[in-house]
Amino acid sequence: MAAIPEGFRYLPGHLDPQAQADLVAELRRLVAAAPLYRPTMPKSGRPFSVRMTNAGSHGWFADHAGYRYLARHPKTGRPWPAIPGALLDLWRTVSGYPADPECCLLNLYAPEARMGLHRDADEETFAAPVVSLSLGDSAVFRIGAAERRGPTTSLKLHSGDVMILAGPARLAYHGIDRVLGGSSRLLPDGGRINVTLRRVTRPPEEDA
Ligand code: SIN
Ligand code: FE2
């Protein structure tokens, strides 16, 4: 097994079942206001298997024009909803970073969905960590090094688990190999939700 990069933190079961259920109710309201869409790979035009939406001032999006952040939902044209308070609380508790996140990306995985190895590198600052939460079915997560061909390690993420990519791990390659269908009863239709919190712009606090 390869070494996990320094700065990677894993908090199993950080959210208890009630907090998970409350958050799912909140995320349903988010999806009603900002419907899920399926991004496409800029070069190949291939659709992602994951569907996405966002909250916050910056929403992550991908299509033929590239990977980028948008101030408005690509279909409705409306600003993204506010980041749910429970997720701001989570960030303030675990990030160790002086400014709030600007992007709350919601990834919805149907049982057959996956996410290829990639780095989160579309932000202006990498001093802020990436904070990521799993809800619903468990999944096999893979994390490697800052180089694409470096060694990787895999671990299972379960509902309520929180993961933090900070320091050297901030730019580590990572992805989801598969979702373990039927492993949780949190979501009545099955599947998995990942919520990823990120700072996008460099705040004045970084110079303080
Ligand atoms: C991502 O890296 O964007 C998602 C990771 C996950 O689903 O846990
Ligand atoms: Fe990612």
Q: What secondary structure does DSSP assign to 118-141, as a single string?
A: E----SS-SSSPEEEEEEESEEEE
Residue 2 has pLDDT above 70, yes or no: no
What six digits make up the tokens of 21? 């259920």
What is the per-residue pLDDT across 23-76, written as a single tens digit (0 to 9) for each?
A: 999 999 999 999 999 999 999 999 999 999 999 999 999 999 999 999 999 999
Closest-CA residue, ligand 1 atom 2, reads 175
- pLDDT band at 208, cuts 50/70/90? confident
Residue pair 187/162 in contact by the 8 Å Cβ criterion: no
Q: Which residues surround ligand 2, an ion (CB under 5 A)?
A: 120
Percent of the chain with pLDDT over 70: 99
Q: Please report the atom of ligand 1 found closest to the CA of residue 134.
A: 8
DSSP reduced 3-state for 93 = helix
pLDDT tens-digit readout, 44-57: 999 999 999 999 99
* Mutation pick for ligand 1 pocket among 117, 132, 135, 161 (CB with most ligand atoms within 8 Å): 132
> Strand 162-165 and strand 51-56: pairing?
unpaired
Average pLDDT, the chain: 97
pLDDT of 196 > 90? The answer is yes
Closest Cα to residue 147, out of 125, 172, 130? 172
Q: Predicted confidence band at 96 (pLDDT cuts at 50, 70, 90)?
A: very high
Q: Is 73 in the pocket of ligand 1 (CB under 6 A)?
A: no
List of domains in the chain: 8-36+47-207 (2.60.120.590)
Can you give the pLDDT at residue 1?
56
**pLDDT tier at 4 (50, 70, 90 boundaries)?**
confident
Q: The pTM is what?
A: 0.97
Judge whether residue 164 has pLDDT over 90: yes
HSE toward the beta carbon, residue 59, CA cutoff 13 A = 27
Nearest 5 degrees, angle CA 157-CA 169-CA 132?
40
The reply to whether ligand 1 has any atom less than 6 angstroms from the CB of 119 is: no
| Ligand nearest to the Cα of 161, by number | 1
